[in-house]
């Protein structure tokens, strides 16, 4: 495999990884802001309604997106660190 095809392959794989990561960042960011806006309004009425809003389907879905988004983003950092470590420790064994 020549160097240009290796670079092309690496860029394509990195773009796929970054695309998935970017989508989860967007989901996590939007869900966090939407949860604050729709499930915990910033007034006395919001404070009173908070126990009822917390169990509503849209708040449950937003909370799921925030929690799972954080877990997935954390896991992707671990995967990236593991991949980089493997490339540094075993550069000749990992051709792709």
Helix (H, G, I), strand (E, B) or coil at 27: helix
- Domain extent, residue 40, equals 16-89
By residue count, the chain amounts to: 96
Residue 7 is assigned to a structural domain of this protein: no
Residue 39 is assigned to a structural domain of this protein: yes
Closest CA to 39 of 67, 65, 60: 60
Where does the pLDDT of residue 68 fall: very low under 50, low under 70, confident under 90, or very high at 90 and above?
Answer: very high
Other CB atoms closer than 10 Å to residue 47's CB: what's the count?
Answer: 11
| pTM of the complete model | 0.72
Residue 34 is assigned to a structural domain of this protein: yes
- Over range 71-96, report the average pLDDT: 80
Residue 73 is assigned to a structural domain of this protein: yes
Residue 85 is assigned to a structural domain of this protein: yes
Q: What is the C-alpha separation between 8 and 74, in angstroms, rounded?
A: 27
Terminal-residue alpha carbon distance, the chain: 10
pLDDT, tens only, 10-64: 778 777 777 888 999 999 999 999 999 999 888 898 889 888 888 999 999 999 9
């Amino acid at each position: 495999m020549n160097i240009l095809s290796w670079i092309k392959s690496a860029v394509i794989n990195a773009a796929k990884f970054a695309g998935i990561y970017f989508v989860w960042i967007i989901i996590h960011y939007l869900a966090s802001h939407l949860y604050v806006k729709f499930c915990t309004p910033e007034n006395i009425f919001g404070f009173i309604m908070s126990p009822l809003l917390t169990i509503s389907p849209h708040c449950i879905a937003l909370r799921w997106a925030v929690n799972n988004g954080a877990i997935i983003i954390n896991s992707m950092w671990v995967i990236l660190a593991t991949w980089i470590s493997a490339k540094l420790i075993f550069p000749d064994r990992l051709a792709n």
